[in-house]
Structure 1
Amino acid sequence: METVADIIQLFVPGCAHVQRILQARVPILRFRNEFTDLQCDLSMTNSSGVHMSELIYIMGQLEPRFPTLVFAIRSWASAAKVTNPVPGRQPTNFMLVLLLIHFLQRRHLLPSLEILFKNAGPNDQRVTADGIDCSFLRDRNQILSHFTPQTQGESEAELLFAFFEFYSKFDFNSNGVSLLTGSSCAKPDGSPLYIQNPLERQLNVARNVSLEELTRFQTKAKEFLNLTRSS
């Protein structure tokens, strides 16, 4: 990974700000492509991450407002400094996306992931080289045959407001988040923020988030609500 980072930094045109994040559970290289103005993460061993990205893409196919909400929440988090480009004790964009999926599950706009896992067919079978089962139903029409989304005429702005209202009041002290069931769950550990990894269910996606940063997330959410109410 060090060698690849050196090659990207020295020889690949348009790649700048190369970061070596090699002590994480899944080591990555992060850099910005100046031609496209995109931030890129490169990993050599995280094949389950590809299937996780596919799972998030499917959520966007099922709920057309989902991509806009992802963009809005990520933009807000960056402006409010809730997230940080350098991994640490703050929530990440990935965690915020999972929180959004859970919120939409609670409003019956997205299915629990249990529906996708239980109804996976032969063509949906995927197992990574390190034994992680990433088999889940991938066909949109088949998913909708097992799940009927609740028809609501809320706009993206209304859902965004409801997202912040939901998590500003969420009892993170007692409850964790399970996308598998689409409901809150008892926390199995003392982490301030618990989000069950949908594919590696024994893992907490948010295990590095500190209580201070979680409290800050909720405080900033309340500030957003107050600002929109007064405008």
Structure 2
Amino acid sequence: MMLPRIGQTIRLNFMSSSEETELHSFKSRITDIQDDVASIELPTSEVTGRTGLFGPGTECSVWYVGEDGSRYEFSSSIAGRKSEHIPVLLLQLPAKEHILRTQRRNYLRIETTLEIAVKLNDPIRQYHFLARTMDVSGGGLSFTCDESFRLQEKDMLKVWISLPGKNGQVQHAFAEMEIVRQKPAEEKGLHQWISGKFIKMSELDRVKVVRACYERQLELRKKGIED
């Protein structure tokens, strides 16, 4: 996997309880690398242009585009702060095996079971039910549900996704989703399978989903190493 290089532009999403740092993506640039620590310019919000207070231990997710055009992602934390020619933060770099590579403009899709609430507004089919996902990505998800819900391709659903975090807190994301594939139950009494793509979703909620997928991937990778 490709580590970031000096001069690399990176984006950071800080895992903080502060609404200001949770709300926006931050942009920075790597000014130096010493061993497994990178010096980065003070991150600035891509919305407000302002920086924030990021003390030692503040967790974040980092992504950047490599020279091959692929997107690379990893989890990190702020190791400290120092003043060189300009004030910089010290960013902990991961081992190469903890960096995830995804094709640019594509989203990491993870098999995971999450609780979702689904609503279909239709003159006849007024459905509102709970279901569990089969897989999730920043671009869509699939789930199973009882065959009594007569869902079909092109249906537009409202979906509320429950996202458990590493700290035990649960976040929620909302999306409007179009069904792109419906697979009937193979036998009577089994569930049908629904797959859809997100048509409308706030950037904040998409970041939540992408982060949850990334953390789940690291969890599965860690279990694989331990096993």
Structure ranking higher on relative contact order (CA contacts 8 Å, 6+ apart): 1
TM-score by length of 2: 0.29
Higher helix proportion (structure 1 or 2): 1
Higher strand proportion (structure 1 or 2): 2
TM-score by length of 1: 0.28
